[in-house]
A and B are shown apart, each in its own frame.
Chain A
Amino acid sequence: MPTTPFDSTLERREADLLGMWAFLATEVVFFGPLFFGYVHGRLVQPQAFVEGSHHMHIVLGTLNTAILMTSSLTMALGVRAAQKGARVRIWLALTALFGLAFLGIKATEWVLELPDAASASGGEARFYFLYYAMTGLHAIHLTLGVALVAWLWLHAKRYSSAYHAPVEVMGLYWHFVDIVWVFLYPMFYLLERYNA
């Protein structure tokens, strides 16, 4: 029997999850300055931010939010399947596909918004800078998530009800990326929609 620094499998499982939660805490602080920049800009140049927000594609943005939240459902179902030792591949595949759909729609939006962004000035330019920086950083995280979910899919045979820490830990990361988007969506798409 191999020796481990843990007294029980329960303790080991908590250590696995703690590692990811600690990483997510650093991620919160990593995104933090951009959120601070947004709050500051929004208070200093509120009208420019509203103007910028009115150029966003509300239908695509809302659809993308729904897609990402659904991907979190399939990821959660995948983690539960892994815990039970049931089939995880179908859930991982769906999660990765929803993630890719989100990225495809997001890339389309970026291209559609480019002319507006390039001609913006002053506070509106700042809005677009934050928009591309924040949704870009989010998309990088999601791309990494899709790649890792695909990797889990490839090695799905390794996981059982006794060992599934990678799936569980990956689930936490995926949901975190979803939570970031939950805040980005109203910040960029929903400013004074009633005047749009």
Chain B
Amino acid sequence: MTYFFTWAGLMICLAATLASSYVPMGAWNSATNMAISVAKALLIALFFMHLRHAGALLRIAAITGLLWLALLFGISWTDFGTRSISHAPWSAP
């Protein structure tokens, strides 16, 4: 029964994310979409992938990938956020 509720929750989230994208909210549209996507991912991870009842070992392994992604995003932004592409005088514009 839990699985059907999880699926129903996913469908409600899908309807919500679709409906919200027709409401003009500017930057908040993206924020809403991302928040709903995170909620959907959590539903899938906790119930379908059984993380809710998993031991510490599996939970840590599941978080590790996201932690690495956050590190790589952060380190990459230190480059892209602080530098601009400058063309050499002899290169084509």
Contacts and interface: CB of A to CB of B under 8 A. Distances in A.
Contact of B58 (A21, A36, A191): A21
Contacts of A191: 21, 29-30
A117 B68 CA distance: 33
Contacts of B23: 194
B90 interface: no
A18 B58 contact: yes
Contacts, number: 117
B92 interface: no
B45 A190 contact: no
A187 B29 CA distance: 11
Contacts of A172: 49
A110 to B, nearest CB: 21
Interface string A39-83: 110000000000000000010001001100110110111001000
A109 interface: no
Contacts of A29: 65, 68-69, 72
Given A73-B7, A194-B21, A183 B37 contact: yes
Q: Chain A interface: which size bin? A: 35 or more
Given A36-B72, A36-B73, A40-B80, A175 B21 contact: no
B50 to A, nearest CB: 8
Contacts of B72: 29, 32-33, 36
Interface in B43-92: 44-45, 47-49, 54-55, 57-58, 61-62, 64-66, 68-69, 72-73, 76, 80
Interface in A14-36: 14, 17-18, 21-22, 24-29, 32-33, 35-36
A25 B65 contact: yes
Interface of B: 3-4, 6-7, 10-11, 14, 17-18, 21-24, 29-30, 33-34, 36-37, 40-41, 44-45, 47-49, 54-55, 57-58, 61-62, 64-66, 68-69, 72-73, 76, 80
7 contacts: A21-B61, A28-B65, A32-B72, A182-B44, A190-B33, A191-B21, A194-B23
Interface of A: 14, 17-18, 21-22, 24-29, 32-33, 35-36, 39-40, 58, 62, 65-66, 69-70, 72-73, 75-77, 80, 171-172, 175-176, 178-179, 182-183, 185-187, 190-195
